[in-house]
Amino acid sequence: MDIETALKEAMTLDGAVGAALVDYESGMMLGAAGGGHALNLEIAAAGNTDVVRAKARTLEALGIREGIEDILITLDRQYHLIRLLSRGGSQLFLYLALDRSRANLALARHKLRSIDRELSV
């Protein structure tokens, strides 16, 4: 599955507001879907890059040698889900923002896992 197809697939989830594939070494988006006036995906990509880097540093400082599967941020009206991927040495994450009133969080996590398995970059 290519990047465009993967992001379109993520956007089929009920409540999906925006999705992006981000290189967290550089903070640059490799692709995006949705967003618009409701969510600036460029800003979200850069900000969530900082979140991923901070969590990785914290785990290292704690001596925890486990990989991060995903990070969930819950807001009053939204879920922000970050799924870390590893592709040929690249450090990437899938970012998905969901309208909390319409989203099924378990289904969203399942869908991102499925996309992770099928995505080729």
Biggest CA–CA distance in the chain, Å, is 41
**Is residue 120 pLDDT above 70, yes or no?**
yes
The pLDDT of residue 89 is 67
The pLDDT of residue 67 is 85
Number of domains within the chain? 1
- Best CA proximity match to 74, nearest among 49, 26, 108, 50: 108
Domain limits for position 72: 3-118
**Which range, of 69-73, 75-79, 87-91, 104-108, averages the lowest pLDDT?**
87-91
Kindly provide the b/e burial profile for residues 28-60, where b requires at least 16 CB atoms within 10 angstroms of the residue's own CB: ebebbbbbeeebebeebbeebbebbeeeeeeee
The pLDDT of residue 121 is 79
pLDDT tens readout for residues 81-90: 999 997 766 7
Q: What CATH number did the domain enclosing 93 receive?
A: 3.30.450.30
